[in-house]
Amino acid sequence: MSASNHQEPRAHTDLTGLTVLAVEDHPDSLDLLTEALRLLGAHVIPARTAREGFELLQRYQPHLVISDIGLPDEDGCSLIQRVRQLSVAHGGATPAIALSAHSLTEDRQRALAAGFHAYLTKPMQLDQLVATISLLAPPTS
């Protein structure tokens, strides 16, 4: 699924019914992302490492993955490449958003080539994140 699909985007402030796997190694950033998405109605599954994120994706089958690129055990690009090797039934086609402090075109291209659907730079703007989620996440009704 790409950001150019023709589905009607959900309301920008309502993520009710959406399950999001958030992979971020910085505790404050993970807490902030988790709380912001929960306040908008999403169910958030937090993970602090790529390994934990990969296991939780298979266990809980979230609607969407948001992952930092710079993770300590395995970078986000490697994580999403492993996810893309899974069958669709096991989460291999789950829409994914990369988060990174790097804003170079090459970094964006590498993340998209690895299998992310969107690339946002930190510090991210919540309205930009929610708009991106609205474009990528499947309907949850």
SS (H, E, C) the chain: CCCCCCCCCCCCCCCCCCEEEEECCCHHHHHHHHHHHHHCCCEEEEECCHHHHHHHHHHHCCCEEEEECCCCCCCHHHHHHHHHCCCHHHCCCCCEEEEECCCCHHHHHHHHHHCCCEEEECCCCHHHHHHHHHHHCCCCC
pTM assigned to the model: 0.89
**Domains in the chain: boundaries:** 19-136
pLDDT in tens, 56-85: 999 999 999 999 999 988 999 999 999 999
The answer to whether domain 19-136 has CATH 3.30.70.1150 is no
pLDDT in tens, 85-119: 999 999 999 999 999 998 889 999 999 999 999 99
pLDDT tier, 141 (very low <50, low <70, confident <90, very high otherwise): low
Per-residue pLDDT for 31 more than 50? yes
